[in-house]
Amino acid sequence: MAITLLSVAITISQAILGAIGSVFPPPIRGAVTNGNTIDGLAALIFAAILLLASMLNTIVLIWWERKLLGRFMDRRGAMHVGYAGLLQNFADGLKLFRKDTVKPREADTLGFWSGPTAYMVTSLIIFAILPISTGWNSGSLPLSLLLALAVFSFAPLFIFVSAWSSNNKYSLIGGMRSAAQMIAYEVPILLAVVAVVLVSGSFDLQTIVLEQTNYWYWVPLFLALVVFVAGMLAEMERIPFDLPEAEAELVEGWNTEYGGMMFAFFMLTDYLRALLGSFLIVLLFLGGWTMPSWVPAAATSFPLAGIFWFMLKVYIVFTIFVWIRASLPRVRTDQLLRVGWNRMIPLALLSVVLAALLVTVKCLPVLGCIPTLGG
Amino acid sequence: MSEMWINMGPQHPMTHGLWNLRVHIDGEMVLDVDPEMGYLHRGIEKISEDRHYNEVVTLMDRCCYVAGLAWEHLYILSAEQALAIRPPERAEWIRMMSEEFQRLGSHIMWYAAFVQDIGLMSPFLYGMRDRDLILDLFQSYTGARMTYEYMRVGGVRNDLPNGFTDRARKVCDWLIDRFVEYDRLCLGSDIFHKRCDGLGTMSEKDCVAYGVTGPMLRSAGSRRDLRKDRPYSAYDRVEFDVATADGADVTARYLVRMEEMRQSVRIIRQALDWLDRHPGPVMAARVPRWLGAPYAPIGNEGYLLKRNYPKGLGLSAIEEPHGEAQAYTVNDGGEHPYRVKFRSPVFANISAAKKYLVGYRVADIPPIMGSVDVCVGECDR
Amino acid sequence: MEAEFSAQVSARLGDRVAGIESFPGTLGRVRFRADAALDVFRSMRDDLAFDHLSMVGGIDWVDHREAFYVLWSDARRAYVILSADLPAQNPHIESATSIWPSANWHERETWELVDIHFDHHPDLRHLLMPDGYAFHPLLRSFKLHEPEELEVKTRNV
């Protein structure tokens, strides 16, 4: 059996509990080292590793975006803290951490504090669901794709809660826009996913990736990819779809009233979601951690090769997002919603029909016939 | 969502300065607007009454912080008329070249801020990068990058340094190439057209009635440009075209400003050629001595101290980057101007805000106000 | 051109005009009687084609006040200056807003800075100064310095 993250966590847990248990006499030692305790601690360690990995990744992602945006803008980006500014984000985080978080007097306490927290937590949960390589997550959930998307779509609720409870007109308008936008783009995203599910025949992300070993879905399901990427841009609220926090008119929209660590939560979660969006695109359309057969075996068999290739793809996808951000203006709310309801949904439906056709015919014009289509 | 008033400003990214646009909205629709000015009012007209003619130039730089030399030019023209002093020819050409460079600087600054308003991030820094070259040029002959204090009644403070014209030509060549990039970034994008076409329209008739001038008026099809209609300095001796467009909307204003920048480069090139061929004095030979004195005795009677100098009135009007600016200087024979009154084009352009904002969406306010090119310093004075 | 213009003005406005002075760079400085302001404005716009009001301002001459208007005509491609003398006590003149909407803000500004009241102005509020500001800064009686402050600056040259 391959080494999985959970087995690593269990080994660490056993080692720690064994060391603690050896100090105590046998009755207590038995209680400390029994299976339930080990599993419990292992779950915590598993979560801690995930949290650390996703946070580190997010921070590197922010650094990458800053450097890349800098280059697009003919400047250098962060340069001074750490090598090429790698530690700049840690410095920024530390600064935000030290700052006082001010709550407006008239704001609703519960909503004001719980909104950003829940927004961040629900986004973090998804990292436990998404498989990064065969050895990464705990095991295959039969409906992991559905679960991931369900948790992903919590966000508008929490954004709206924090916007409404901060008792600011700009926040309210931003929250409204955000809710409208996310709901409008949830539908085409789900329809695009339906196309993937039809072709792969499974809701399990692990299976979907393994189905793509021979060919990646972006070729046969190109329309679904386009719909999914556009929808994800809207879900991630990045330019050209960053209206809820449109800086020029709404002053950061729904997070106007947040400062200090709460603002950092929002900022971090935005990038967490950008990372998640890139993960989903890679998993559903770009073959996850698998590589085509013409790649030499040596390049795919070194330790952690799956994670390496997966993250490489994720960063390439994210780079494209940054590129879009650096070169496009922002659209207007009504235009965005009109495109969402009037254009994206028909396109998504069309992609579903194409996928169904593909499953029935099992043949592609160029790639030839694929007997395994449809699971 | 019910109707409500929101304050866009005084601290708001849309304002590009310090003013407050009160907006009455119903959902995303704008029902009414009420601009509130005065946050940057420093009483420049009042302070001018207590300054020597040349000292007012210092205040002019603070009037519009992105077009300081244009405002210096405006004031100096009216002060010279009031004092009946004529500058030498070379000084007029230098002033004209300065004003055109200032127009370039101001329009590039406008471009940077405007594209930022509609969410385009990179061109903002392209604009800043290119404007820096113009500031470098200003620094090389005025000594400052923002508050120049360069023009004087009767001429300019000093001549251009050696090699200036070659450096300036290089900057012109660089900028002309960059304008192509600017256009491709904006006009080449469908989203830009979706955001800007047909927005904030104001017909020529309305523009004239509400005193709207400059690129906003020319975007409505008018050919009104004071540099052509009422030439000052040496504008009647250079060739250039008046930039116009038909749409009267945000895109049309964009086109007008881009074309104006190209025309400015054209004027600057002609001015540089002339300056190369015609060395000479840059200060009038006969200027009253007290004009140059930093602190003449004021005495307890304050500004009522009179010198025996001919009285006069001066009205100057220039095509400032934002529109038509005027200065009215009253010389009562004293050593301070008795009254200086400025007309700021931005002041008039903002006063018509109801005409071009009502009926559009909240999201349209930044591009529309961006296309107006607000400079609050000169509006509040 | 200037002579022709002053003939036109005299023909249209007659005794409502107190005099026309020459002013370099413009068609002239027309001094009119304040009580006939609206007639003068209307005739300037409709008959003499001055469709553009550029600037309204006021001057405090201590013994009296002056309101001046700078007009531009697209047809003539020239400026003209209108000027009316007002009494120092309770100076007021008819608002030009009904003729040129652009007068709105200029008159608000002139009212709050030079204390010239514009009758029938639709919206005579403070513009540059805070609401309720009791002073009119551009009056000569509004001193920038107190005398003792001035002494510090005084220096013999």
The Cα B267–Cα B235 span in angstroms is 9
User: Bridge partners of B306?
Assistant: B334
The Cα C126–Cα C121 span in angstroms is 13
The Cα B315–Cα B330 span in angstroms is 9
Q: How far is CA B91 from CA B78, B160, B284, B356, in A?
A: 15, 10, 9, 40
Q: How far is CA C37 from CA A24, A152, A206, C15, C116, in A?
A: 104, 69, 85, 12, 14
**Chain C touched by B37 (CB under 8 Å):** yes
Q: Is B281 helix (H, G, I), strand (E, B) or coil?
A: coil
Residue C117, φ and ψ in degrees, nearest 5: -85, 135
Residues of B in contact with C29 (CB under 8 A): 313
Taking residue C16's Cβ as centre, other Cβ atoms within 10 Å add up to 16
The Cα A238–Cα A230 span in angstroms is 10
Nearest residue to C112 (alpha-carbon basis) of C123, C128, C95: C128
The Cα A370–Cα B352 span in angstroms is 67
Q: Let me know if B39 is exposed, middle or buried by CB neighbors in 10 A (0-12, 13-18, 19+).
A: middle
Q: How confident is the model at residue C157 (pLDDT cuts 50, 70, 90)?
A: very low
Residue A257 lies in a domain: yes
Pick the residue with more confidence: A4 or A190? A190
Q: Is B76 helix (H, G, I), strand (E, B) or coil?
A: helix
User: Residues near B229 by Cβ (< 8 Å), separated by ≥ 6?
Assistant: C77
pLDDT at residue A216 in the model = 81
Q: Let me know if C125 is exposed, middle or buried by CB neighbors in 10 A (0-12, 13-18, 19+).
A: exposed
Determine the straight-line distance between the first and last CA of chain C, rounded to whole angstroms.
47
**Does C contact A via 3+ CB–CB distances below 8 Å?**
no
Residue where the block lists tokens 């709207």? B212
Q: Is the pLDDT of residue C144 over 80?
A: no
pLDDT at residue B136 in the model = 92
Give the tens place of pLDDT for each residue, C80-112: 898 888 888 888 888 888 888 888 899 998 998
Residues of B in contact with C109 (CB under 8 A): 347
The Cα A185–Cα A182 span in angstroms is 5
Q: Is the pLDDT of residue A240 over 80?
A: no
Q: What is the DSSP string of A236-262?
A: HT-TTS-GGG-HHHHTTGGGTT--HHH
Using N-to-C axis directions, what is the helix angle for B89-117 and B68-83, rounded to 10°?
140
Chains in contact with C, where contact means 3 or more Cβ–Cβ distances below 8 Å, are B
Q: How confident is the model at residue A244 (pLDDT cuts 50, 70, 90)?
A: low
The Cα C113–Cα B304 span in angstroms is 20
Min distance B196 CA to chain A CA atoms (Å): 10
AA letter at C44: M
Give the tens place of pLDDT for each residue, A47-77: 888 888 888 888 888 899 889 988 888 888 8
User: Residues near B19 by Cβ (< 8 Å), separated by ≥ 6?
Assistant: B9, B10, B35, B36, B37, B38, B39, B40, B350, B374, B376, B379, B380
Chains in contact with B, where contact means 3 or more Cβ–Cβ distances below 8 Å, are A, C
Min distance B306 CA to chain A CA atoms (Å): 52
Contact B363 A73 (CB under 8 A): no
Give the tens place of pLDDT for each residue, A350-364: 988 988 888 777 766
Contact B362 A326 (CB under 8 A): no
Which of A286-290, A364-368, C57-61 is the most confident on average? C57-61
B143: left (phi over 0), alpha (psi -120 to 50) or beta: left
Contact A170 B194 (CB under 8 A): no
**Chain A touched by B128 (CB under 8 Å):** no
Q: In chain C, whose CA is at the least distance from the CA of B289? A: C157
The Cα A358–Cα A374 span in angstroms is 9
Query: C29-32 and C78-87: which strand pairing?
Result: parallel
pLDDT at residue A243 in the model = 67
Contact B6 A72 (CB under 8 A): no
Q: Are B368 and B195 in contact (CB under 8 A)?
A: no
Contact C102 B209 (CB under 8 A): yes
Residues of A in contact with B129 (CB under 8 A): 74
Q: How confident is the model at residue A2 (pLDDT cuts 50, 70, 90)?
A: low
Q: Let me know if A8 is exposed, middle or buried by CB neighbors in 10 A (0-12, 13-18, 19+).
A: middle
**Chain C touched by B310 (CB under 8 Å):** no
Chain A residues with at least one Cβ partner in B under 8 Å:
69, 72-75, 169-170, 172-173, 176, 239-240, 242-243, 246-251, 325-335
Q: Is the pLDDT of residue A1 over 50?
A: no
Min distance A339 CA to chain B CA atoms (Å): 12
Nearest to C155 among B209, B295, B351 (CB): B295
Residues of C in contact with B343 (CB under 8 A): 54-55, 70, 106
The Cα B158–Cα B149 span in angstroms is 11
The Cα B272–Cα B161 span in angstroms is 13
Min distance C6 CA to chain B CA atoms (Å): 19
The Cα B40–Cα B381 span in angstroms is 7
Q: In what helix (H) or strand (E) does residue B182 lie, and over which residues does it extend?
A: helix B164-187
pLDDT at residue B305 in the model = 41
pLDDT at residue A367 in the model = 61
| Percent of chain C residues past pLDDT 70, beyond the cut | 92
Residues of C in contact with B381 (CB under 8 A): 128
Residues of C in contact with B347 (CB under 8 A): 105-106, 109
Q: How far is CA A280 from CA A213, A229, A272, A273, C19, in A?
A: 16, 10, 12, 10, 82
The ipTM of this complex is 0.83
- Mean pLDDT of all residues in chain A? 82
**Chain B touched by C143 (CB under 8 Å):** yes
Taking residue B194's Cβ as centre, other Cβ atoms within 10 Å add up to 16
Q: How confident is the model at residue C154 (pLDDT cuts 50, 70, 90)?
A: very low
The upper half-sphere exposure of residue B288, i.e. CA atoms within 13 Å in the direction of its Cβ, equals 19
Counting the structural domains of chain A, the total is: 1
B305-311 long-range contacts (CB < 8 A, ≥24 apart) are: B305/B334, B305/B335, B306/B332, B306/B333, B306/B334, B307/B333, B307/B334, B307/B335, B308/B333, B309/B83, B309/B333, B309/B334, B309/B335, B310/B84
Chain C, residues 10-49, CB within 8 A of chain B, namely: 23-26, 29
Report the length, in residues, of chain C: 157
Tokens of B284: 């009038």
Which residue in A332, A333, A335, A338 has the most chain B C-beta atoms within 10 A of its own C-beta, making it the best mutation to test that interface? A332
Report the length, in residues, of chain B: 381
CATH architecture of B44-380: Orthogonal Bundle (1.10)
pLDDT at residue A46 in the model = 82
Q: In chain B, whose CA is at the least distance from the CA of A68? A: B122
Give the tens place of pLDDT for each residue, A181-199: 888 888 888 888 988 888 8
| Domains (range + CATH), chain C | 2-153 (3.30.460.80)
Q: Is the pLDDT of residue A120 over 60?
A: yes
The upper half-sphere exposure of residue B268, i.e. CA atoms within 13 Å in the direction of its Cβ, equals 29
The Cα A139–Cα B55 span in angstroms is 79
Nearest to B121 among A176, A249, A326 (CB): A326
Q: In chain C, whose CA is at the least distance from the CA of B315? A: C25
The Cα A122–Cα A110 span in angstroms is 17
Nearest to C23 among B43, B222, B315 (CB): B315
Query: A368-369 and A363-364: which strand pairing?
Result: antiparallel
Q: What is the DSSP string of A42-89?
A: HHHHHHHHHHHHHHHHHHHHHHHHHHHHHHHTTS--S-SSSGGGTTHH
Nearest to B295 among C59, C138, C153 (CB): C153
Domain boundaries, chain B: 44-380
Residues of B in contact with A75 (CB under 8 A): 125
Residue where the block lists tokens 């085409």? A188
Nearest to C138 among B46, B81, B222 (CB): B46
User: Bridge partners of C43?
Assistant: none
Contact A75 B124 (CB under 8 A): no
Residue A164 lies in a domain: yes
Residues of A in contact with B4 (CB under 8 A): 169
pLDDT at residue B308 in the model = 58
Q: What is the DSSP string of C42-65?
A: HHHHHTT---EEEEEEEEE-SSEE
**Does C contact B via 3+ CB–CB distances below 8 Å?**
yes
pLDDT at residue A310 in the model = 86
pLDDT at residue A364 in the model = 64
**Chain B touched by C67 (CB under 8 Å):** no
- Integer-rounded Cα radius of gyration of chain B: 21
Contact B125 A74 (CB under 8 A): yes
Min distance B38 CA to chain C CA atoms (Å): 4
CB pairs under 8 A between B and C: 111
Q: Is B172 helix (H, G, I), strand (E, B) or coil?
A: helix
Determine the distance from the C-alpha atom of residue B178 to the mean position of all C-alpha atoms in its chain, rounded to a whole number: 22
Q: Is the pLDDT of residue A287 over 50?
A: yes
Contact C105 B348 (CB under 8 A): yes
Which residue in B34, B36, B313, B319 has the most chain C C-beta atoms within 10 A of its own C-beta, making it the best mutation to test that interface? B313
AA letter at B359: G
The Cα A223–Cα B331 span in angstroms is 74
Tokens of C3: 């002579």
Tokens of B192: 């830009």
Q: What is the mean pLDDT of residues A102-119?
A: 85
Residues of A in contact with B188 (CB under 8 A): none
Task: Spell out, as residue ranges, where chain B has pLDDT lower than 50.
Answer: 293-306
The upper half-sphere exposure of residue A330, i.e. CA atoms within 13 Å in the direction of its Cβ, equals 28
Tokens of B245: 């467009």
User: Bridge partners of B36?
Assistant: B20
